[in-house]
Amino acid sequence: MSESKCKCGPGYATPLDAVRNGPVEKLLYVVCVQPNLDEEHGDYLATVDVDPASPTYCQVIHRTYTNSKHNELHHSGWNTCSSCHFVPGGKEVPTRDRLVLPCLNSDRIFVIDTGTDPRAPTLAKVIEGDVLKGADCTAPHTTHCLPNGNIMISVMGDADGNAKGDFVEFDKNFELVGTWSRGDRKALCGYDYWYQPHFNVMVASEWGAPKLFRRGYHPTDCDDRTQYGCRLNFYRWQERELFQTIDLGDEGLTPLEIRFLHNPRENQGYVGCAFYANVYRFYQKPGSDEYTAEKVIDVPVKKVQGENGEIEMMGGMMTDILISLDDRYLYFSNWRHGDVRQYDISDRANPRLTGQVFLGGAIQRDAPRRVLNDPELKEAPEPVFLKGRRLLGGPQMLQLSLDGRRLYVSSSLFSPWDKQFYPEMVAAGGTIVQLDIDVENGGMKLNENFLVDFGGEPYGPGLPHEMRYPGGDCTSDIWLVNE
């Protein structure tokens, strides 16, 4: 498709265009969960001022409430992104003005109008959970726009809460089109997904059955691999058919956030596997239609002793990964161990650790658990205090600035699990911090002047999870090859 014959839509022409010409972020949209299930305002989208020149820097300047209970907002996505950037002449140019907020518990989907007033978004539409249940789907998770302007959301369960890997498609007016995948072959579990049309492929990851994870973490839940995931599922993009499943085994248990490289001509990517904190690289075998996966990062478990003397082999619980828009650095968070790491992935098969910062976690020096054996650290990390506030919980969701110089880190994973693993963070409210990134040499440093504290929210402490910018970001936008 010739650029001269196209109208330019939302987003940026290429990932490097976003790096070089994208604006410095001034607003951050943050999905926040209300841990008090009896509070009538419920979960909300917080608009945070991240402009250092602003008098309301690091403050929540607006809250868009769901005004309903038991939703569990989690991830979000746009009605359109850079995959719709080049629009053939004569066709309507789409506008990025709706943020889609699916709910893990209620199965509702909230559509937020961010276009009318970006600093004060409003609720545009509510899709009730019965709509998804009518398609035998529940627990919607990842939202991406499709190049044709429709919106697709991955799901993790059937109408009864059993594990199911599938996708629901909506039109531009957020009316249900139906389930996306075709054919008899189905994924056992679902979670995240990413597509690369140039190679006619989409890849999806797996968490577990909603009826299991909604009630909290139970180690034995993982024993039934039909209800808890350890696989990568590859679909033919045009045909919408599952054609290959790779079983990652025990070390690849719960592969969560999955990313192709941003360059649409690169047929490879990475997935972070939560329980044992491993990163796998997936790529197409030379001369073959099939893909393979190899473990390229392995965070060792730590032997710890609990308050009652019990011994535990604690994995990092890697809960988020992202890739910088220039495809040079990969970042991930270990929610249990408490650290954020940066790897140089210039050599795709051999990531090199270039930065590590601890931001809380369960192995701090004064934690109730005592580390008995740590293959990596000689001593336990110190507690982190920022502007007089101790960072509680662990680092969770990540969002990187377009130029790669600022990494935002929130602290909430999923409120039933937050209450189980970090009740002190739930009681005090979550936080967002910022890491300053050395993009030339690698490395990260905590910004001592940045803290968003959700402890003093109007209706009680809030739990911040996923973050987005009004103009798109490293984890929302997908690019197509423009020819």
Mean pLDDT of 174-189: 97
d(CA 333, CA 396): 6
Q: Per the structure block, which two tokens stand in for 189?
A: 């579990």
Evaluate if residue 6 carries a pLDDT over 90.
no
Residue 224 neighbours by CB distance under 10 Å = 12
On whether the CB atoms of residues 28 and 54 are closer than 8 A, the answer is: no
Specify the residue for token string 């398609």: 135
d(CA 190, CA 56): 39
The predicted model scores a pTM of: 0.97
Residue 41 neighbours by CB distance under 10 Å = 17
Evaluate if residue 90 carries a pLDDT over 90.
no
- Who contacts 126 (Cβ-Cβ below 8 Å, separation ≥6)? 108, 109, 110, 111
- Per cent of the chain over pLDDT 90 is 93
d(CA 120, CA 118): 6
Q: In the prediction, which pLDDT does 394 show?
A: 98
d(CA 143, CA 35): 23
Mean pLDDT of 24-41: 98
CATH 2.130.10.10 fits 7-24+78-468, yes or no: yes
Q: List the beta bridge partners of residue 292.
A: 283
- Who contacts 92 (Cβ-Cβ below 8 Å, separation ≥6)? none
Give the Å distances, CA to CA, from 148 to 126, 176, 179, 420.
23, 15, 16, 42
d(CA 277, CA 254): 10
**Band (88; pLDDT cuts 50, 70, 90):** confident
Q: List the beta bridge partners of residue 60.
A: 48
d(CA 231, CA 224): 13
Q: Per the structure block, which two tokens stand in for 134?
A: 């009518």
d(CA 329, CA 348): 10
Specify the residue for token string 């990475």: 270
pLDDT digit string (tens) for 445-464? 999 999 999 999 999 999 99
- Who contacts 296 (Cβ-Cβ below 8 Å, separation ≥6)? 270, 279, 280, 281, 349, 350, 351
**Cα 271 versus chain centre, distance:** 11
Q: In the prediction, which pLDDT does 351 show?
A: 98
On whether the CB atoms of residues 465 and 396 are closer than 8 A, the answer is: yes
Evaluate if residue 87 carries a pLDDT over 60.
yes
Q: In the prediction, which pLDDT does 483 show?
A: 62
Q: In the prediction, which pLDDT does 158 show?
A: 97
Counting Cα atoms < 13 Å in the Cβ hemisphere of 122 gives 4
d(CA 39, CA 70): 10
Say what the alpha-carbon torsion angle 413, 414, 420, 423 is, to the nearest 10 degrees.
Answer: 70
Pairing of strands 77-78, 60-65: unpaired
Closest CA to 302 of 339, 270, 357, 328: 339
Q: In the prediction, which pLDDT does 361 show?
A: 97
Mean pLDDT of 330-345: 98
**Band (4; pLDDT cuts 50, 70, 90):** low
Residue 460 Rama label (left phi>0; alpha psi -120 to 50; beta) = left
d(CA 216, CA 306): 19
**Band (308; pLDDT cuts 50, 70, 90):** confident
- Secondary structure, 3-state, the chain: CCHHHEEECCCCCCHHHHHHHCCCCCEEEEEEECCCCCCCCECEEEEEECCCCCCCCCCEEEEEECCECCCCECCCEECCCHHHCEEECCCCCCCCCEEEEEECCCCCEEEEECCCCCCCCEEEEEECHHHHHCCCCEEEEEEEECCCCCEEEEEEECCCCCEEEEEEEECCCCCEEEECCECCCCECCCCCEEEEHHHCEEEECCCECHHHHCCCCCHHHHHCCCCECCEEEEEECCCCEEEEEEECCHHHCCEEEEEECCCCCCCEEEEEECCCCEEEEEEECCCCCCEEEEEEEECCCEEEECCCCCEEEECCCEEEEEECCCCCEEEEEECCCCEEEEEECCCCCCCEEEEEEECCCCCCCCCCCEEEECCCCCCCCCCCEECCEECCCCCCCEEECCCCCEEEEECCCCHHHHHHHCHHHHHHCCEEEEEEECCCCCCEEECCCCCEECCCCCCCCCEEEEEECCCCCCCCCCCCCCC
Q: In the prediction, which pLDDT does 299 show?
A: 98
Mean pLDDT of 76-104: 94
- Average pLDDT value over all residues in the chain: 96
